[in-house]
Each structure stands twice: as structure tokens, then as C-alpha cells.
Structure 1
Amino acid sequence: MKTYEELLSDIEEDMELMGASHIVYSAEENGVITDYDYLPSDLCMTSTTLIELQEKLHEQMLYDKASAYTAGADKNAPKLAVIFPGIGYTADKPLLYYTARLAKKHGYQIQTVSYGALPENIKGDSAKMKQAFELASEQTEQLLHGIDWSSCGSILFISKSIGTAISSAYAFRHNLKVKSILFTPLAETFSFPLRGSIAFHGTADPWAETDSVQALAAQKEVPLFLTKNGNHSLETGDVQTDLSILKTTMDRVERFIINP
């Protein structure tokens, strides 16, 4: 099987010859692209353009790199997952609830952060946003103070909205090597180191502009999974569509949790 670098090199050559919008057919194994060809076959069945294939492969390469960030962790030591909710998006809501269940399924103990009272109506108000971040960060420090991080074999941070900034800041302050799942991150989140992170964003999210999030994620080499027409909860308003989105998201989350 070809490496990502070999496949991307082949795609660049084909784009020069045939153009970025030329249709090819990719082979996939467990959702991972393994090869492509110019005509459909028993192995190469998924129709795509060269530019779409290039983008998906690049995302896939970054995803695997993020998944492998803690590859050297002691597999015999306890594993801890910490949930950092949003202000209104609590740990019992779908994205956090099901991610926590997946983490528990794969051997993680679960710790949930609670922020207490925070300023209201912070959207679009930078002063209130800063105040909320500082208060929540202070409460997070108090709640997690007693954890011996050095005893953990693997650390997973699961965060939502403002929680993505709080978790990233905490990992930076304490020099923790964590794998991190960022649900609907704010622009402020990308001011921190984000190695070992993956992110999910809805293109109709009123809290973060898509082009900006894409550019920031690219700068930090964070794999970014976009949900078309998804709001700040990665929902569209259509129940069946939203259930399908949740299933796809959890498939990606589980693969990230268990790899490498």
C-alpha cells in the first residue's frame, strides 16, 4: 500500500496533466483511502475529483498524525478522559455524552469539569468572553488540582465551545501531552499549541466563521471535520440528518480514541 506522501505526489502529477476537477475512483478500507485509479473497479469504487481526493488525503494524514501523538504512552497505566463543557452545552448533551461513553468503553476513567456561574450573553462581547474564560479556567484549576497527571498512561481532553479554549490553555500551562477532541472550537482556541488535536465545526456556526476556523486549523495542522449547515451543536434542525451527523462524528471520534 502506498504512503500518504506517495499518493499525494501522484495526485499532484495527475492534476497537472488532467486538471483538479478530473474524476477518479478511490479505494477505501474502514473509511481510510488506500489507493485510487482512473476507472472504477472492484477496489476503486468511490467517485471523486482529484482536488477533493487531495484534500481528504491531507486531512487523513493529519488525523493519523494527531492520533499517534501519544503513541509512547504507558499502556498499563490508568487512562483519564476529562470533559470540558461549553457554557450551555453540558456534559449530558449528545456530542459530549456519546464521546464520554466511547472513551469509557476503551478504558478511560471520566472526569467532568464544572464551571459554576459565568457571565451571560457573551457572544460577540470580547470583555465578557475574556471574563468567562478566566473564571472558568480558575475553577478548572481548582477542580483538577488533585490529579497526578504523571501517573496517567493516556490523557484525553474532550471539549466543547469555550471549553476548547479552556482545555487547550490548561494543557499548555501544565505541559501535558494529551490527545484532544475539539467540538466547535472558538477562534481563541487556536492561540494555544494544539498538537494531538482534532476539531469539528459546523458551517452555519454563528460563534465562529468557517473560513477563519479553516485557516487557523490549517496553520496549526489540526484536522478539521466540517458539518455542512451545522450550527454550534453540529445540528441542522432535521432529526434524521442530525442523527446521521452524530453517527459519522462518533465514528471519527472512536477511531481517534483507539488509534494508534
Structure 2
Amino acid sequence: MYEFNEGNVVRNEQSAINYIWICGKEKNNSICIMLPGLGYTTQRPLFHYATNVCMNENVDILHINYNYLGNEAFKKLDHHDQDQWIYEDVKSVVTAVLKDAKYETYFILSKSIGTIPMAYEWIEKDFISKQNSYGIWLTPLIKDEIVYNALSKTEIPSLYVIGTDDPHYNEESIASINENTNVTGLVIPKANHGLEVKGDIKMTINIVYDVMESIEKIIKKYKDK
């Protein structure tokens, strides 16, 4: 059984972030922090089913539901400052919500723009430094240097998933990332940035199934490490 704890963290007058902390009524030793995309929220299929995978495996979940589409102050910033803003938002929520929690294992699951604060955390190690940590990167923005470097050089066991029709897919970059033995990749032919195949619903559903299988595998492998 799980409890759903909803709240809001106000970092400053221009940044308030909603979250949902899903906790087992009996203590779980692992948590998965989920960082959605710009328009791909935690209510969308990949996050919905990944949440169910975690719950089935007795892993708590923290949805960080930032929303930048309507934030005019955020839109006025340059690319670097936007990246830093998102990372500060994520850190603020994790620090506030999990300050008294004691987890032994941390998974971070991100999609699209969510892979940017994840890449920052891979460098800064602000809240994963003392825990067993593992990464799940859905449609990573590998054309962004910080994301590419984080994945290609990571010492943290990680899974990435990307489609060949994703604008961030680059065969040369993927080949380089695959040289890192800490990284496992799932490259999906014809899938776009939403991990969908346009005009083919059955194939898209099969993609969700394959992605969930891969996520379940990494959760099962490392949750009790």
C-alpha cells in the first residue's frame, strides 16, 4: 500500500514547484526521482507506467512537477541560465521533501529537458553523493554538451532510451556513449522524441512495453544493492 503526499516548494517568488511523493506505508529502501520533459508530464504514459513498475518493486517515487511553459521569467533567460534554474528547482524539491528520509538507493528517471538537471546532478553529486545511484535517461538531449558528457563519461550505471527519428539522435554520439561499459542503451527504430511512431499506434504501444521492460530490469537489478 502507498500514500500519495502532494505539496509545493517555493524556491523564490518566480519559482514554485509541485511534487507528489509516493511512499510505501511500510518503509522502502529505494526511491526513484522522476524529472519530466517540458510538455511531457508525469501523467503521460512513460512516467505513469514507470511509476507502476516502481510501486510493484517496492520503490518509492518522487514526481517533480515543474512547469516552465507559462513562466515568463524563465522564458527570458538564456539557455545556460534556464538549465541552472531547472537544476536549482530540482535540488530545492529533493532537499525539502527528502530531508528526513533515509534511502539506501536512488534512481533518477528523466525525460528530454529533465535530462539536463540530471546531468548537472551527475556532476555536482549534491543529493546522490552518499547513496547507491542509478540513472534512467529517456530521450536524452545528447546534442547538449552537458548531457552528452554526463552519459558518455558516467561511472554511474545507467540506461538510456532514444528513437532514431528523435532530433537529438546522432549515430556518432550514440556510438561514443556505447563505449562506456556503465551504460546500457535501447535505440528504437522510427521512434520520435515522444518515443512514438507517427501513425502506428500498435508499434507505439509495443515501444512502451519494451521501455518498461528495460526500466523494470534496471530497477530489479539494483534496488537492493
| 219, 229, 251: which one aligns with 2:190 | 229
Provide Cα deviations, 1:166-196, integer angstroms capped at 9, x if missing partner: 1232244222531111101112313233511
Deviation at 1:219, TM superposition (A): 4.1
| 228, 231, 250: which one aligns with 2:212 | 250
What is the root-mean-square deviation in Å for CA atoms of aligned residues? 2.4
State the AA in 2 paired with 1:144: V
Instruction: Indicate how the Cα distance of structure 1 residues 129 and 209 shifts in structure 2: closer, same or farther if over 3 A, else same.
Output: farther
Is the Cα–Cα contact under 8 Å of residues 119 and 128 in structure 1 kept in the other structure? no
Which runs of structure 2 are paired with 1:1-260 in the superposition (5 Å)? 78-117=29-68, 128-146=78-96, 147-148=98-99, 151-173=102-124, 174=126, 175=129, 176-187=131-142, 188-192=146-150, 193-219=154-180, 221-237=182-198, 238-259=200-221
- Structure 2 distance, partners of 1:178, 1:92, is 24
SS of 1:215's partner is helix
State the AA in 2 paired with 1:102: V
SS of 1:223's partner is strand
Q: Which has the larger radius of gyration?
A: 1
If each structure's helix is expressed as a fraction of its own residues, which one has the higher value? 1
Instruction: Indicate how the Cα distance of structure 1 residues 236 and 102 shifts in structure 2: closer, same or farther if over 3 A, else same.
Output: same
Provide Cα deviations, 1:61-90, integer angstroms capped at 9, x if missing partner: xxxxxxxxxxxxxxx853211101111111
Is the Cα–Cα contact under 8 Å of residues 36 and 110 in structure 2 kept in the other structure? yes
Percent of pairs with identical residues: 21
Instruction: Indicate how the Cα distance of structure 1 residues 77 and 107 shifts in structure 2: closer, same or farther if over 3 A, else same.
Output: closer
State the AA in 2 paired with 1:84: L
- Structure 1 distance, partners of 2:48, 2:132, is 23
Instruction: Indicate how the Cα distance of structure 1 residues 190 and 155 shifts in structure 2: closer, same or farther if over 3 A, else same.
Output: same
TM-score, normalized by length of structure 2? Answer: 0.71
Structure 1 alignment gaps of length 5 or more: 1-75, 121-126
Q: Which stretch of the first structure deviates more once superposed, 216-225 or 150-159?
A: 216-225
Aligned residues: 179
SS of 2:108's partner is strand
State the AA in 2 paired with 1:191: N
Provide Cα deviations, 1:173-230, integer angstroms capped at 9, x if missing partner: 2225311111011123132335111100101101342332332342464111100011
